[in-house]
Amino acid sequence: MWIDPPVAGPGAGLIRGLALVYALLLSPAWVARSDTSSGTIRFIQVADTAFDRFTAQPTPAQAAWMNAHYWRMLTYSPYFDSRLAWFPDAWVYKDLYAIYVGSAVATDHPEWILRDPSGNRLYIRFACSKHTCPQYAADVGDPGFRKFWISEAASVLGKGYRGLYVDDVNLTLSRVSDGSGQPVAPVDPRTGQAMTEADWRRYMAEFCEAIRAAFPTAEIVHNAIWYIGDEDPYVQREVASADLIDLERGVNDPGIRGGTGTYGFDTFLSHIDRVHAQGKSVMLEGRAHSAKAREYGLAAYFLVNSGTDGLANKAWSTPDRWWPAYDLVLGSALGPRYAWSGVLRRDFDGGIVLVNPPGSPPQLLDLGATYTDLTGEARSVLVLRPAQGAVLRKQGS
């Protein structure tokens, strides 16, 4: 295995813990994933610049390791074009409405850039500093911009990528801003008036549908804002035009609260249910560094996984720092999630997962049987605190 963790000093405790998990790898529950059951992990690696050290010149064994452990990779062209020969299951990144400051497109097509009533160019609200941001906000309702975008996407997909990862599918005008990052309603070039929220959502949904129509066989992933509202018809059209919806930060997003409010945990799970009801899948892209945070994200993934969903987490997902729990197979789900003893639970052939949502009280849980946790310890009782999860295997599985 392509892992070389520390064996002495401050990392000694870590390696002892990992040793327990490595022992579990010998169990039938820890095997290569070949099925699409709800108890199987489809792991997605974000192969950004920091990951180049693994993809620059991998040996055949290293390339094989990545193919065995990563269901998909989010990659960037042109760097990854030459790597498709050994990893063809790659999505290529493309922002939905970014026109990069200083680019030829910004110079040649200033009419594609949204403007405020005074004619000032507007931006995507991201990484703004000193009254500027790196990306102008394009007018997604402009037919010329749409045609250009689709032409660029066709060119890069033609290199052999499995699909498109479309960033900033923001069905809200609050992500259009001035150079200081303050939201500004742009002038709608088609009406000459302030663009309405409804029209912006319509333009976005129509553009997403045009992309789907242009690439009917490509996998299309949308990095979309989940709390816009599932009843909105434009949200439904946007979801229908994708294969997967990336829920950035997943349940590890600190902005998620308990309950059914706009940012509520129940609302988040209900959104996933609605995506599934449309025949689509989700990608839970956690940002979890600690072991507890990773287990919370993993438990939540198993809690909702339809069998076609994906899981990503940049921390502890590289070949030299791979969390072995991402190799876990729990088998088929015995049913959907359900409320149990103050937490959410889902049962599998090979174990159970438990999630205590944020804002909930700590729960002392009598499991009614003895299970094995991710460190190899036997558990019949455990405490779950708010925003905490547990992934437990049946003994002997």
Helix, coil or strand: residue 317? strand
Note whether 304 and 336 are within 8 A (CB).
no
Q: What is the pTM of this model?
A: 0.90
- CA-CA-CA-CA torsion sign (17, 23, 27, 32): positive
Residues 73-84: pLDDT tens digits? Answer: 999 999 999 999
Residues 287-336: pLDDT tens digits? Answer: 899 999 999 999 999 999 999 999 999 989 999 999 999 999 999 999 99
**Residue recorded with tokens 């072991």:** 291
Q: What is the pLDDT of residue 118?
A: 97
pLDDT in single tens digits along all 397 residues of the chain = 233 233 333 343 333 333 333 333 333 343 334 456 899 999 999 999 999 999 999 999 999 999 999 999 999 999 999 999 999 999 999 999 999 999 999 999 999 999 999 999 999 999 999 999 999 999 999 999 999 999 999 999 999 999 999 999 999 999 999 999 999 999 999 999 999 999 999 999 999 999 999 999 999 999 999 999 999 999 999 999 999 999 999 999 999 999 999 999 999 999 999 999 999 999 999 989 999 999 999 999 999 999 999 999 998 999 999 999 999 999 999 999 999 999 999 999 999 999 999 999 999 999 999 999 999 999 999 999 999 999 999 987 6
Per-residue tokens: 106: 């910004």
Q: In the chain, what percentage of residues exceed pLDDT 90?
A: 89
The answer regarding whether domain 31-332 maps to CATH 3.40.50.720 reads no
Per-residue tokens: 364: 């002392």
Residue 352's region, left for phi above 0, alpha for psi from -120 to 50, else beta, is beta
CA 230 vs. chain centroid, Å, equals 18
Neighbouring-strand partners of residue 245? 222, 282
Residues 239-268: pLDDT tens digits? Answer: 999 999 999 999 999 999 999 999 999 999
Q: What is the pLDDT of residue 397?
A: 64
Give residue limits of the domains in the chain.
31-332
Note whether 46 and 284 are within 8 A (CB).
no
DSSP strand pairing (244-249 vs 281-286): parallel
DSSP 8-state assignment for residue 78: T
Note whether 50 and 316 are within 8 A (CB).
no
Note whether 328 and 349 are within 8 A (CB).
no
* Own/partner long-range contacts of 125-132 (Cβ < 8 Å, ≥24 apart): 125/174, 125/175, 125/176, 125/177, 125/181, 125/183, 126/168, 128/177, 128/179, 128/180, 128/181, 130/179, 131/178, 131/179, 131/180, 132/101, 132/179
Neighbours of 340 (CB within 10 A): 14
Q: What is the pLDDT of residue 396?
A: 75
Note whether 120 and 137 are within 8 A (CB).
no
Note whether 358 and 265 are within 8 A (CB).
yes
